[in-house]
Structure 1
Amino acid sequence: MLRSITARHGLGAGAAAAVLTVAALAGPGTGSGHAGSHVDAPTAILNPDVNAADLYAFTSPDKPDTVTLAVTYNPVTLPNTGGLFPPALFGEDTRYDLDIDQDGDARPDLTYRWTFTTEDHRIGGVAQVKGRVTSLDDADLLLRQRYRLEELRPGRDAKVLVDDKTAAPTHSGHLTMPDYAALRRQATYALPDGGSTYAGQASDPFFIDVRMFGLLKLGVELPAPINPLVFSNVNVMALQLPKKQLALKGDAHRNPVFGVWATASRKSLNVSGGKPKWVQMSRVGQSFFNEGLAPDNLLGPAGLIGIPGGIADQFNASDPAHDQTWPTMRTMVRKPAGPSLVNLFHAYAVPPPKEPREDMWQVFMRGVGKGNGPVKGDLNAHVLNQDVNPDAVRDAEMMRLNMSTPVTDRPRLAGWLDGDPQGVPNGRRLTDDPTLAFSRIVMGEPAGKGHPELFRFSLAKGPVPAPESHFPYVALPRALG
């Protein structure tokens, strides 16, 4: 099934696998690496505490009148024990935002913002504990972070939802934190208008088969599936919110669709004087979008993670409101490189779909609904909201969720492509395989038959360990010792 890369580039499939694995784990050896949806742009990788890894949005399976939103940062943090690695912290002088677009104009109608401060009583700046930690206010916990969560709406004063709350710490090992589940429960707080919030560490729920990652990046199926993330942790901020709070005009029945993206901005000195400015460092909406489509982010001799200041970095600093008119965005979505690479390196013909790819533009930039493109069906477009002005809707990259889609007890890895409309790209659950869905869409599904046979064999069947059955759903962080 493979055409040898060796004949083309002097690179065997095993070497290609090694290249991709190195790319997946490229990062400082003192505690963090970056992989899959975690490798996007040079600037973000150099700032792991603002490097947005993954965004999730799904109807809460045990509370279907609510939606759970979660975003992860600081990938991939290796399991800790005592003071072996530095703890993974949320950034100070940083704004972590979840932006909600209810009417489809690509501008936030609602923003949830976290800001963190750090209390550091470590001796020598190493071990974060000096004994057994059994609660968040335990004196043996020498390093803790507190945060404020605000709700922001245009033209209104900020509403403080929680203040001076303690985030769950980096898991320092079972000897010093024997019951991390108890710490998580203590770090989960109720919100005044219903719902809950959690900030802390978790096992990284992202999973990937590097074989498929390589297919679109190198044009070749690697000989063995590899998931390099099975031993890593992330920092996560999660919200569980009543659906009416996320819906346009507070009516989730008439207006069930909203869009969401996450950004992290850091306070920067203003060299010309005046107040410091906030500089957006990262942006994440749909999984694998920047990594898979940015033209300077293709693996190759030039490098593994794109060009500093290139398209991947530009995307991280950009605003969805400008996506529709950004020429580079129009090119990279409508003329992706992956299908041509697949065609180039396969012995049998795998013709790429015809360009320009209006089907991809519809799925990733517009959402699917009411005949707004070549993909048929009503899935997750803002125009499905009854109170939306269709003339004001703009094409933009964001994650879109239709809150009216019923929860299924039999989720499929590729979600909608496999007949499960609750799954990716209609939001994203912890059990979805977004790389699989993304790759199949790039290869032509569902507007055409595509080439699903290319992706039929994979050992990546879900996050390990499995998600929990209640908020915040992400599994407890891995630890050593």
Structure 2
Amino acid sequence: MTAIIRSGWPRLGRRSVALIACGALAAGGLTTAGVAMLQPETATASSHREAPLISGQPQFDNTDVYAFVSPDHPDTTTLVANWLPFQEPGGGPNFYTFANDARYDIHIDSDGDAQDDLLYRFTFKDHRKNDLTFLYNTGVVESLDDPDLNFTQTYDIELLRLEHNKVVSEHKVAEGLPVAPSNVGKASMPDYQKLRDQAVRKIPGGLKAFAGQADDPFFLDLRVFDLLYGGDLSEVGNDTLGGYNVNTIALQVPNSYIRQSHKQPVVGIYSTTARKNAYGDWTQVSRLGMPLVNEVVNPVKDKDKFNASSPANDGDFLKNVTEPELPKLIDSIYKIKAPAEPRNDLVSVFLTGVEELNQPPGVTASEMLRLNTSIKPTSKPKRLGVLDGDNAGFPNGRRLTDDVLDIALQVVEGELVGSKNDLGDAVDANDKEFGTTFPYVALPAAGSDTRAAANSTKKNATGLTGGASSLTGSWDDNTVMYASAAAGVLLAGLGMVWLRSRRRTARRSWMG
């Protein structure tokens, strides 16, 4: 693996810049495809509210997928998928639930042929003790079976095995597992950690499962959508998702269950959501593998088509990867020369996996997270992953701590083809520390907390470098960051405004 670091994945410096890269990943790849055997009808895009239709169906909106060898149990792989973005912690009285008319699926391709071999399916049921009150809880909640927790959910897990996109077996892995509730507030749930711990369940066969609310683990500055970073270029380096929660599904599985063999340890992973349509048929409405890609890599005309297709058909969108729009736009604004096309380096990173790192033999190009389960986790993960010599990190799977925005932007701007750069968004870590044990995601913000987005500022922007760019030097907190403004114009012009439609409520139950 050291050859990869020395040739294709050079070690970079640590400087980050106030150039938001929410489109960076998008320029580099495609979001993952739905399973063909579901034969989905017209679908909508996934990630954080980036497409018009899915933004109106938040319970079905898959925001991020993570896959990594478990740091405390390296003989297992942890899969994390999140839904229902931008949860205001105090958004009661109904708070945030998984849909009970949805299939939340995590797909695994064990041999690189762009077809599912395993599918873990999660389905949810609602339970309400007293429908004569509007309260989520009618008193202090001390356990998941507390009679004062008025509304609860349970879920089942099924394992489907497939061959040539046909289901050959179905197995009920678990039934009636409890969902960790929304964190109403400190008065209602004074020991939320206890509730979280009770929601982590061991499953026969060496598996662990969790479903419930969590802090949104994705960290980045999205205020590029607030044109010109607040109008005066002073808004940079804030974790836009700080203080917001998501609904998390996490599954820890023995490596031997999901990989083909010790000799072929690379697996492909992505997630989808399906719901019943008016005719009673299941329709795929969300899908995700690589983070933040469908926003700008595909033009609007391709978004629904892409989400309704299978991984085997991702070649239909290959031109969007080999001839990406974003580098050309950055070239016109920053005078950073766009790398030569076709961008085969991006095909390797986002569609096939990197040779000798996470590319399965005979791979069919298709977009999904690819994880080499034989690479052991490190006790000191580096936020830039493989770019900084840490082969256990992105794009070899995705850990919670990986700074995927900075990594993707640097790769899109030609890091692998000789255009050295340290581009980034000046947000280098999550606003909350992650856990050291399963499910690893941080506890959700409580409804009684003041949302701390303004306090998540990362005052560490130091400069912008980028090949032929003349934008070099160092910036302090009071310097006008004109590069960020240009990115704001670029992405806002792509129709990416989705923060403005955020519902900001602060209601809470009487007991909250």
Is the shorter-chain TM-score for this pair beyond 0.5, marking a shared fold? yes
| Unaligned stretches of 5+ residues in structure 1 | 1-13, 21-35, 271-275, 297-309, 370-377, 384-389
SS across alignment from 1:145: strand
Write the distance in 2 (CA, Å) between the matches of 1:209 and 1:460: 7
Return the offset for 1:212. Answer: 8.1
Partner of 1:449: 418
Pair 1:42 & 2:64 matched: no
Return the offset for 1:211. Answer: 7.3
Partner of 1:314: 305
Q: TM-score, normalised by structure 2?
A: 0.74
Partner of 1:330: 318
Q: Is the Cα–Cα contact under 8 Å of residues 53 and 71 in structure 1 kept in the other structure?
A: yes
Write the distance in 1 (CA, Å) between the matches of 2:214 and 2:294: 24
Q: Is the Cα–Cα contact under 8 Å of residues 223 and 240 in structure 2 kept in the other structure?
A: no
Partner of 1:104: 112
For residues 190-229 of structure 1, the aligned pairs below 5 Å read 190-210=202-222, 224-229=236-241
Pair 1:477 & 2:481 matched: no
What are the superposed Cα offsets for residues 286-312 of structure 1, whole Å, 9 maximum, x if unpaired?
11221241223xxxxxxxxxxxxx422
What are the superposed Cα offsets for residues 181-235 of structure 1, whole Å, 9 maximum, x if unpaired?
11111111111111200000001111003378999x9xxx986223211110000
Pair 1:397 & 2:388 matched: no
Partner of 1:282: 286
Write the distance in 2 (CA, Å) between the matches of 1:400 and 1:125: 47
Q: Is the Cα–Cα contact under 8 Å of residues 43 and 313 in structure 1 kept in the other structure?
A: no
Write the distance in 1 (CA, Å) between the matches of 2:350 and 2:420: 19
Partner of 1:263: 272
Structure 1 range deviating more: 167-176 or 204-213: 204-213
Within the candidate set 67, 84, 94, 1:57 is matched to 67
Write the distance in 2 (CA, Å) between the matches of 1:210 and 1:96: 27
SS across alignment from 1:405: coil
Partner of 1:6: none
Q: TM-score, normalised by structure 1?
A: 0.79
Partner of 2:40: none
Within the candidate set 176, 179, 187, 1:164 is matched to 176
- Structure-2 change in CA distance of 1:269 and 1:382 (3 Å): same
- Structure-2 change in CA distance of 1:438 and 1:242 (3 Å): same
What is the aligned-residue RMSD (CA, Å)?
2.5
SS across alignment from 1:38: coil
Return the offset for 1:138. Answer: 1.1
- Structure-2 change in CA distance of 1:211 and 1:411 (3 Å): farther
Partner of 2:452: none
Partner of 1:464: 431
Larger RCO of the pair (alpha carbons < 8 Å, separation 6+): 2
Q: Is the Cα–Cα contact under 8 Å of residues 162 and 191 in structure 1 kept in the other structure?
A: yes
Pair 1:440 & 2:410 matched: yes
Write the distance in 2 (CA, Å) between the matches of 1:258 and 1:278: 26
Return the offset for 1:434. Answer: 1.1
Amino acid at match of 1:143: F
For residues 73-152 of structure 1, the aligned pairs below 5 Å read 73-80=83-90, 83=92, 85-121=93-129, 123=131, 126-152=134-160
Q: Is the Cα–Cα contact under 8 Å of residues 435 and 441 in structure 2 kept in the other structure?
A: yes
SS across alignment from 1:330: helix
SS across alignment from 1:421: coil
Partner of 1:352: 338
Structure 1 range deviating more: 276-285 or 310-319: 310-319
What are the superposed Cα offsets for residues 74-119 of structure 1, whole Å, 9 maximum, x if unpaired?
00101127x4x53111011211110100011111100100001111
Q: Is the Cα–Cα contact under 8 Å of residues 211 and 248 in structure 2 kept in the other structure?
A: yes
SS across alignment from 1:265: strand
Amino acid at match of 2:210: Y
Amino acid at match of 2:282: W
Q: What is the aligned length?
A: 400
Partner of 2:39: none
- Structure-2 change in CA distance of 1:264 and 1:181 (3 Å): same
Return the offset for 1:414. Answer: 1.9
Pair 1:411 & 2:385 matched: no
Write the distance in 2 (CA, Å) between the matches of 1:364 and 1:53: 18
- Structure-2 change in CA distance of 1:135 and 1:343 (3 Å): same
SS across alignment from 2:295: helix
- Structure-2 change in CA distance of 1:351 and 1:212 (3 Å): farther
Partner of 1:243: 255
4+ long deviations beyond 3 Å = 121-126, 210-215
Structure 1 range deviating more: 399-408 or 39-48: 39-48
Amino acid at match of 1:244: S
Amino acid at match of 1:165: L
Q: Is the Cα–Cα contact under 8 Å of residues 103 and 121 in structure 2 kept in the other structure?
A: yes
What are the superposed Cα offsets for residues 239-278 of structure 1, whole Å, 9 maximum, x if unpaired?
0111100111xx3x212100011000001122xxxxx210
Return the offset for 1:122. Answer: 5.0
Partner of 2:502: none
Q: Is the Cα–Cα contact under 8 Å of residues 40 and 312 in structure 1 kept in the other structure?
A: no
SS across alignment from 2:149: coil
Partner of 2:297: 293
- Structure-2 change in CA distance of 1:451 and 1:344 (3 Å): farther
| Unaligned stretches of 5+ residues in structure 2 | 1-17, 24-45, 449-512
Amino acid at match of 2:281: K
Q: Is the Cα–Cα contact under 8 Å of residues 320 and 396 in structure 1 kept in the other structure?
A: yes
SS across alignment from 1:314: helix
Partner of 1:431: 401
* Percent of aligned pairs with the same amino acid: 39
Return the offset for 1:353. Answer: 0.5
